[in-house]
Structure 1
Amino acid sequence: MGKEYIISFSSFYKAAYAQDMLREAGISASLRRLPAELARSCSTGVYLKTSSAEDVMSVFERKQIKPRGIYQISRDEKGKKKYIMVP
């Protein structure tokens, strides 16, 4: 099973474009509201599950997409979500 990620962008349109480019590459992704602790000017992010974040980064490099941040979603022992920035 893949890991969960959320990717933030500076605008809704950049997030929508990134989602389209990921889908073209065969990577399933959806647009959702960002959690309050990650939202800045744009509150829409791309959520996805994948076994390889490198595949996502490869698509972004080829299409010259620059996300604001990429976060892996994990859960603590109580099930609360934590967001860990991926370098």
Structure 2
Amino acid sequence: MRPSDVLERKRALIREVTARHNATNPRVFGSVARGEDRSDSDLDILVDALPGSSLMTLGGLQSALEDLAEGVPVHLVTTSEIPQKHRGRILAEALPI
């Protein structure tokens, strides 16, 4: 199954789960955002962690997203974690979920 298929079916649930885990503005980036994903691709999700977020809440979000993704690997990144050398590209290609 391609990550883009999961995204289309679970878009609303991804937004709900993100909000429940003290994060906002979920976006997809990488191969899914570029329309290049394959069945062996992961689902790259970028979120803004809200004040008070912790590793526990973000770990819970990662786990919840993996549960929704039906076996597709999920790569969760917060805006503050983007490496500087990739920041411009990731922010430019990120699409709202």
TM-score by length of 1: 0.44
Between structures 1 and 2, the one with greater strand share? 1
